[in-house]
Chains A and B, each alone.
Chain A
Amino acid sequence: MRRKRLGILSLISLVAVVVLSVGLSAGTSSAGTERAESGKRIFFLPKLIGVNVFTENGKSAKEAARALGETVTYNGPTEAVAAKQVPFIDSAARQGYNAIVISANDPNAVAPALKRAQQRGLKVISYDGDVRKDARTIFVSPPKASDIGAFQVEWLGAQIRYRGEIAILSATPTAANQNTWIKFMKQTLKKRKYRNMKLVKTAYGNDNPTDSAKETQALLRAYPNLKGIIAPTTVGISAAAQVLDQSRRCRRVALTGLGLPNQMRRYVKKGCARRFGLWNERDFGYLATYVASLVLDGKLTGKLGESFRAGRLGTRRVVTSDGNSPVVVLGKPLVFTRANIDKYNF
């Protein structure tokens, strides 16, 4: 009996110590919250945290929040897995957030949870990675998907003289935006101009640098005649660039895709990814937050043709884009080359 009591006491005290220390540190939650006096609370849920593009999105979301007098919390899972986004959606509902801005890893998987949240009165805006139509009010899209797909094929084609075996290094197999872009890439490849380019494999790096690097290495081994890689993911393109650079294959294998200028600067100058693109991630988060706020105020309902002012981004309209609606489009893609890369800082 005595030993049990002692065991109990030690357990309680140990647990108390742990609990106190975490409690103290949890007061400042690791994924910051931008507080405002009054105003609505928006939960910004990226595909995963710890990746530069999403961090940029988050920063600009907070910038928008400050301008609007609202509160944005930026948080998400550490892996690009839809099931891991679900607890955050759930928790946002319980914490009384007014809106969720989400880039989903899987359009269907998060839908039930989002609908539960909608039933509890939250508004859902999707951006970047879309969700099922009935689970969101408006989708904020980067440049048109058809453009993004076609441009990347062209950027690669120009580098390899439009002939040879090519591969795609994507992120996760379920992400809606990835699959849409790949669909448009394949459509583009059917055109006459690209008839000598053959897509041999689509690999998935899961938005994880190590996996992306391993997939690139596997591609190079399995397809020794590979001429080019398209990586429509910033994690993927930087990993592929690093692998090509380390194995001294930059001359032999061309690389393009969507990349962050800061991450890719060194490689572009070395000739590893001579032409690639993206859009302004800073604007992306900003725009999405503005849309969310306007929806909360009732000023935007997702009707086609509605127009609104998005702070420093000017006037925007709700449209149909590539068969999807209602959509707000960010703009045109930016192209980066050795010539202009130093102009950008994100």
Chain B
Amino acid sequence: MTRVLLRLVLRWETLLIVAIVGGGIWSATLSEFFFTRINLLDLATPYVFIGLLAFGLTFVVIAGEIDISVTSILAVSVVSFAQLLDHGVNVWLATAAGLGVAAALGLVNGLLVGVLNLPSLAVTLGTLAAFQGLAFVILSGEGVAEFPQRYLSIGGGYSKQELPHALVLLVAAAFVLGLLLHATRFGRYLFAIGSNREAAHLSGVPASRVRVTVFVISGLMAGIAGIAYVGFFGSARADAAQGSLLDVVTAVVLGGVNIFGGAGTMVGVFLALILVAVLRNGMQLANVGGDTQNIVIGVLLLAAIAAGNLGRAIQDGSISLARLGIRRRGVIRSDAKEAAIAMSVESQTPKGR
């Protein structure tokens, strides 16, 4: 009984819950308005779009890749939608088009990484810039800010004056995606590919197809996140979500998803997002500027990874300054001689990022 309890208590998710409570206490000390009903219910609303982006990114990271172009995809999706709306297209049709654009951009990433086998970091670095530029080409520096109320209410509406729709959206997405990740064969493929792509491929996992699909998912989630974004912020601009990548990555990493792939839970990412929301909300109520808030989030991100590494290193007993080398997991190690002979550009497993 104690063993079961212990296992439960020492899970990463439990730690996150503790951190959320701790964060809540801290935020309460920052501002007397934190523990008010209207605030607590509405806590996550401004950050729901980040959560949706993070959910999509989780799929990609578990599969062993990375996608830093998600914020740009959101921007293109949002401005496409806005332009269509501005030209008289029905709002729901325009929304569907926006989602379609987002998925298509995700497909571009997917094809480049999954089919051409290009390194995902470099590719998405390029598409981050290319898509961002595309967003500006579509809408220049202007903004569209006239939207039908029903559309806005998805991201910014409230039921009975209190329950934010955005929160409902977030929880629903977490649930659905969590099922997709943990209870389907597709999800299992992801974990397999992320742990060891070679082995997965040899076991019959259709690695290429799966990898293309995760990027499409990531793109699609960016499109959905765009809906939440416009609902809350009230405007569609080409620089939408710019600068939010830090929070998205933090939610994923803090959520316990292994950055090298192969491990992570949707619940964890959800909890991590709540933690980020709690901290940011507290700081915002205390009138701490966004850029100072970023320092806190940035340090939190670093601390989380460093702590994990520290823990792992202590266990391995390998803390030693004399052996500061880059440690990579999952490299197939043949004997030392082979490794030495292995030519420069041998290893294609994208572990070194």
Q: What is the interface of chain A, defined by CB distance below 8 A to chain B?
A: 1-8, 10-12, 14-16, 18-19, 22-23, 26, 29-31, 33, 49, 73, 75, 77-78, 81-84, 86-88, 90-91, 94-96, 106-113, 172-174, 204, 206
Q: What is the interface of chain B, defined by CB distance below 8 A to chain A?
A: 6, 10, 12, 15, 18-19, 22-23, 26, 29-31, 33, 36, 38-39, 42, 46, 140-143, 145-146, 152, 156, 232-235, 237, 239-240, 283-292, 295-296, 299-300, 303-304, 306-308, 310-312, 314-315
Contact of B290 among A12, A73, A78, A109 (CB under 8 A): A78
Q: A7-B312, A33-B287, A94-B38 are in contact. Are A82 and B143 (CB under 8 A)?
A: yes
Q: Is the interface of B mostly helix, strand, loop or mixed?
A: helix
Q: Is the interface of A mostly helix, strand, loop or mixed?
A: helix
**Which of B30, B292, B303, B306 has most A Cβ within 10 Å?**
B303
CB distance from A104 to the nearest CB of B (A): 10
A-side contacts of B19, CB under 8 Å: 11-12, 15
A-side contacts of B239, CB under 8 Å: 81
B285 and A91 within 8 A (CB): yes
Number of A-B contacts (CB under 8 A): 154
Contact of B285 among A12, A16, A94 (CB under 8 A): A94
A106 and B140 within 8 A (CB): no
Once the chains are docked, how many angstroms separate the CA of A312 from the CA of B267? 59
A26 and B30 within 8 A (CB): yes
Once the chains are docked, how many angstroms separate the CA of A206 from the CA of B140? 12
Once the chains are docked, how many angstroms separate the CA of A107 from the CA of B143? 10
Contact of B235 among A23, A82, A94 (CB under 8 A): A82
CB distance from A186 to the nearest CB of B (A): 17
Contact of B234 among A75, A109, A173 (CB under 8 A): A109
A112 and B285 within 8 A (CB): no
A18 and B36 within 8 A (CB): no
Once the chains are docked, how many angstroms separate the CA of A56 from the CA of B30? 28
Subset of 26 A-B contacts with CB under 8 Å: A2-B315, A3-B314, A7-B308, A8-B307, A8-B311, A10-B307, A12-B22, A15-B303, A16-B22, A18-B300, A19-B26, A22-B288, A26-B292, A78-B290, A81-B239, A82-B234, A83-B235, A83-B237, A86-B233, A87-B290, A91-B284, A94-B33, A108-B146, A109-B235, A173-B140, A174-B141
Contact of A106 among B10, B235, B300, B307 (CB under 8 A): B235
A77 and B290 within 8 A (CB): yes
Q: A3-B315, A6-B310, A91-B284 are in contact. Are A96 and B292 (CB under 8 A)?
A: no
A-side contacts of B23, CB under 8 Å: 19
CB distance from A108 to the nearest CB of B (A): 3
A30 and B292 within 8 A (CB): yes
B-side contacts of A82, CB under 8 Å: 143, 145, 233-235, 237
Q: A78-B291, A90-B46, A174-B142 are in contact. Are A112 and B15 (CB under 8 A)?
A: no
Which partner residue on chain A sits nearest B235 by CB separation?
Answer: A109
Q: Across chains A and B, which 5 residue pairs bring their CB atoms closest together, nearest first?
A: A7-B311, A108-B145, A109-B235, A3-B315, A11-B307
**Which of B38, B156, B295, B308 has most A Cβ within 10 Å?**
B308
B141 and A83 within 8 A (CB): no
Contact of B240 among A10, A23, A26, A83 (CB under 8 A): A83
Which partner residue on chain A sits nearest B15 by CB separation?
Answer: A8
Once the chains are docked, how many angstroms separate the CA of A78 from the CA of B292? 11
A-side contacts of B311, CB under 8 Å: 3-8, 10
A-side contacts of B296, CB under 8 Å: 18-19, 22
B289 and A78 within 8 A (CB): yes
CB distance from A32 to the nearest CB of B (A): 9
Q: A110-B234, A112-B234 are in contact. Are A31 and B285 (CB under 8 A)?
A: no
A172 and B141 within 8 A (CB): yes
Which partner residue on chain A sits nearest B296 by CB separation?
Answer: A22
A75 and B145 within 8 A (CB): no
CB distance from A20 to the nearest CB of B (A): 8
A4 and B38 within 8 A (CB): no
A75 and B141 within 8 A (CB): no
B-side contacts of A87, CB under 8 Å: 46, 284, 290
A-side contacts of B235, CB under 8 Å: 82-83, 106, 108-109
Once the chains are docked, how many angstroms separate the CA of A113 from the CA of B29? 26
A-side contacts of B315, CB under 8 Å: 2-3, 6
Which partner residue on chain A sits nearest B26 by CB separation?
Answer: A19
B-side contacts of A90, CB under 8 Å: 46
Which partner residue on chain B sits nearest A172 by CB separation?
Answer: B141
B-side contacts of A204, CB under 8 Å: 141
Once the chains are docked, how many angstroms separate the CA of A1 from the CA of B5? 13
Once the chains are docked, how many angstroms separate the CA of A229 from the CA of B278? 47
CB distance from B230 to the nearest CB of A (A): 9
Contact of B233 among A30, A109, A173 (CB under 8 A): A109
Which partner residue on chain B sits nearest A17 by CB separation?
Answer: B303
A-side contacts of B39, CB under 8 Å: 94
A-side contacts of B152, CB under 8 Å: 112
Once the chains are docked, how many angstroms separate the CA of A4 from the CA of B9? 11
CB distance from B62 to the nearest CB of A (A): 19
A75 and B304 within 8 A (CB): no
B-side contacts of A10, CB under 8 Å: 306-307, 310-311
CB distance from A342 to the nearest CB of B (A): 35
Once the chains are docked, how many angstroms separate the CA of A113 from the CA of B300? 30
